[in-house]
Amino acid sequence: MILEMKNVLKQYDNFKLDCSLSLEPGCVTGLIGQNGAGKSTTFKSILDLVHIDSGEINVFGKPHTALTNKDKQDLSIVLSDSGFSGYLTISKIIPVMSAMYDKFDKNDFAERCKRFGLPLDKQIKEFSTGMCAKLKVLVALSHDAKLLILDEPTAGLDVVARDEVLNMLRDYMEDESHGILISSHISTDLEGLCDDIYFICDGKIILHEDTDVLLSDYASLKVDEKQYDKLDKKYIISVLKESYGYRCLTAQKRFYLENYPGIIVEKGSIDDIIMLKVKGETL
Amino acid sequence: MKGLLIKDFQLIFLNIRMLVALCIVSIFLTSSSTSSAAFVISYITIVFFMFVLTTISYDELDHSISFLFTLPVSRKTYVLEKYVFSLICGMVGLIFSTVICTVIGMIKNINLIGPDFIPVALTIYLMLLFIVAFMLPIQLKFGGDNGRIAIFLIFGIIVAAVYIGNKVLEHFHIYKADIIKFVQSLFTANTALIIPAFIILVLATLGISYGISLRIMERRTL
């Protein structure tokens, strides 16, 4: 296990994080949730940027508080709201990274920056949102870390740049000892990249499932009042009232396709699942 | 720590124009007395020490400090680096001011580097380290701008405490002039011990300050 969080609790005045998750080598695990759901707090707690009240976090089999600077060379984190000082340039970052990481390849890093259209001698504060996002990912990938923790790495990127970044992450995962924990608002990014996905809502993990299962077995059922009354609800996870009747989330798509040919069964998407889990009423 | 030091020096070089301005001001403000040398040393070294505090402000800006701790940097390394950086910056300031004094001496055809230059320079360096030891924990606790407000407030409280303390002592017929005379007599009686005693005092203060800063950073949520 590269990363394990067991019953991690962090209490704020108006928010409580209560999270357990794990990440195996060779896996990409997604963490998805609304703004303020607890994704950034989860990420920050892994590196002890936020002190947890109770629970256990192990990174590379070690308690997260016992990670040495050497251990941290195998870890890369992209935070959504922070990075190198905006007053620095990429040229100035290079010697800093070189001094911090044994495996940092400065020529390769500079080459990749150029390939992604990032000027080496321009202050980072002058970069566009997309350029900042690309730089953060390039920095994270520059020193052959075993674990990448990426908080909204594709935020602000255009479609082409997003695809380039995702391809870089796929290349990175060709080494089976690597692992990625990633959060994103763009569910299609996660669908195409993640092996499994955790859904977080109000600081609690409300669902954990393999991406293949989510996409093959989950479905959104659209039914009117009559159909809803007749519906066998034993496989319904949650229900949301709509103008036409009800929208129901199920993890047994085939059961409803076979037994209720008259109802609309839409293939599960991450967006639908979030919507129904967060806004719907759990049965 | 090497990476952090490189980063901080990179940030200092952003103020290169300020350094040039410093040199020009120094040239205009000096005369042929030794006090001029003391002025140049303290003026330039203070600015170099201020650079240390500026790097903390840069670190705080846009939550950059959170990112720094995702790198192979522990809270202890970060705090230690700020103290090491202060010592280096002060030293660079001293060397830089010596060079400036020499250049000014050559331009104005005066001798600023007299026999008491080294003791004056060392005293200024130690005094500034003393102040840095006081200011660093405040900056780390309150951050860039709030830190400056906190420093003004704390200095205000100290001035008020000294004033009130003086009044209280006067009430017990212990006068400021007598205290100063007593301290002076201590120094004149043990001239050879003054500098070593001052060095020990500054090192002890830096040690205590480092301990407090470390506690502040370890408790801090980033």
| DSSP H stretches of helix in chain A | 39-46, 90-100, 106-115, 129-140, 159-172, 187-193, 211-217, 225-230, 253-259, 270-279
pLDDT of residue B120: 79
| Closest CB from B6, B65, B219 relative to A96 | B6
pLDDT of residue B33: 56
Question: Which of the residues in chain B have pLDDT under 70?
Answer: 29-36, 112, 144, 186-187, 189-191
Residue with tokens 């070189």: A98
Q: Decide if A95 touches B, using CB distance below 8 A.
A: yes
pLDDT of residue B30: 66
pLDDT of residue A63: 94
Q: Are B66 and A81 in contact (CB < 8 Å)?
A: yes
Q: Which chain A residues are Cβ-neighbours of B69 within 8 angstroms?
A: 47, 49
Model pTM score: 0.83
Q: Express each pLDDT in A206-245 by its tens digit.
A: 889 999 898 889 999 999 988 888 888 889 999 999 888 9
| Closest CB from B10, B11, B72 relative to A69 | B72
| Minimum Cα–Cα distance from B222: chain A residue | A49
pLDDT of residue A128: 87
User: Phi and psi dihedrals of A263, rounded to 5?
Assistant: -95, 160
Tell me the residue length of chain A: 283
Q: Express each pLDDT in B175-209 by its tens digit.
A: 777 777 777 776 676 667 777 888 898 999 999 99
In angstroms, rounded to a whole number, what is the distance separating the alpha carbons of residues A252 and A219? 7
Q: For residue B159, how far is the Cα from the chain centroid?
A: 19
Which H or E run includes A62?
strand A62-63
Q: Express each pLDDT in A120-173 by its tens digit.
A: 999 999 998 888 888 999 999 999 999 999 998 888 788 888 888 888 899 999
Bridge pairing between strands A219-223 and A236-242:
unpaired
B residues 55-94 lying closer than 8 A (beta carbon) to A: 58-59, 61-67, 69-74, 77
A residues 45-84 lying closer than 8 A (beta carbon) to B: 47, 49-51, 68-70, 72-73, 75-77, 79, 81-84
Q: Are A83 and B221 in contact (CB < 8 Å)?
A: no
Q: Which chain A residues are Cβ-neighbours of B11 within 8 angstroms?
A: 85, 87-88
Which H or E run includes B113?
none
In angstroms, rounded to a whole number, what is the distance separating the alpha carbons of residues B66 and A63? 20
| Minimum Cα–Cα distance from A148: chain B residue | B70
SS3 at position A161: helix
What mean pLDDT comes out for the span A14-24? 92
In angstroms, rounded to a whole number, what is the distance separating the alpha carbons of residues B137 and A15? 30
Mean pLDDT of chain A: 90
- Determine which of B70, B216, B217, B220 to mutate to test the interface with A (most A C-beta atoms within 10 Å): B70
ipTM score of complex: 0.83
pLDDT of residue A7: 93
| Closest CB from B7, B14, B74 relative to A96 | B7
Does residue A208 contact residue A274 with C-beta atoms inside 8 Å?
no
Q: Give every CB contact of residue B17 below 8 A, 6+ residues apart in sequence.
A: none
- Determine which of B7, B12, B78 to mutate to test the interface with A (most A C-beta atoms within 10 Å): B7
Does residue A201 contact residue A191 with C-beta atoms inside 8 Å?
no
For residue B55, count CB atoms less than 10 angstroms from its CB and return exposed for 0-12, middle for 13-18, buried for 19 or more: buried
Question: Half-sphere exposure of B98 toward its Cβ, with a 13 Å CA cutoff?
Answer: 16
Report the candidate in A252, A85, A150 with the shortest Cα–Cα distance to residue B57.
Answer: A85
Category of A92 on φ-ψ map: left (φ > 0), alpha (ψ -120 to 50) or beta: alpha
In chain A, where are the structural domains located? 3-213, 218-282
In angstroms, rounded to a whole number, what is the distance separating the alpha carbons of residues B208 and B193? 22
CB pairs under 8 A between A and B: 83
Q: Which chain A residues are Cβ-neighbours of B219 within 8 angstroms?
A: 51
CA distance B219 to chain A (A): 8
| Closest CB from A51, A73, A82 relative to B72 | A73
Q: Which chain B residues are Cβ-neighbours of A73 within 8 angstroms?
A: 72
Q: Express each pLDDT in A49-74 by its tens digit.
A: 999 999 999 999 999 999 998 999 99
Q: Give every CB contact of residue A61 below 8 A, 6+ residues apart in sequence.
A: A1
Sheet of strand A245-250, all strands in order from the earlier edge strand to the far edge: A264-267, A219-223, A245-250, A236-242, A281-282
In angstroms, rounded to a whole number, what is the distance separating the alpha carbons of residues B18 and B13? 10
Does residue A136 contact residue A153 with C-beta atoms inside 8 Å?
yes
| Closest CB from B2, B11, B77 relative to A87 | B11
pLDDT of residue B34: 53
Q: Decide if B18 touches A, using CB distance below 8 A.
A: no
Contacts for A255-261 with beta carbons within 8 Å, 24 or more apart?
Answer: A256/A219, A256/A221, A256/A231, A257/A219, A259/A232, A260/A221, A260/A227, A260/A231
CATH of A3-213, one of 3.40.50.10070, 3.30.70.1060, 3.30.300.30, 3.40.50.300: 3.40.50.300
In chain B, where are the structural domains located? 2-219
Q: For residue B16, how far is the Cα from the chain centroid?
A: 19
Q: Which chain A residues are Cβ-neighbours of B73 within 8 angstroms?
A: 69, 72, 100
Does residue B74 contact residue B68 with C-beta atoms inside 8 Å?
no
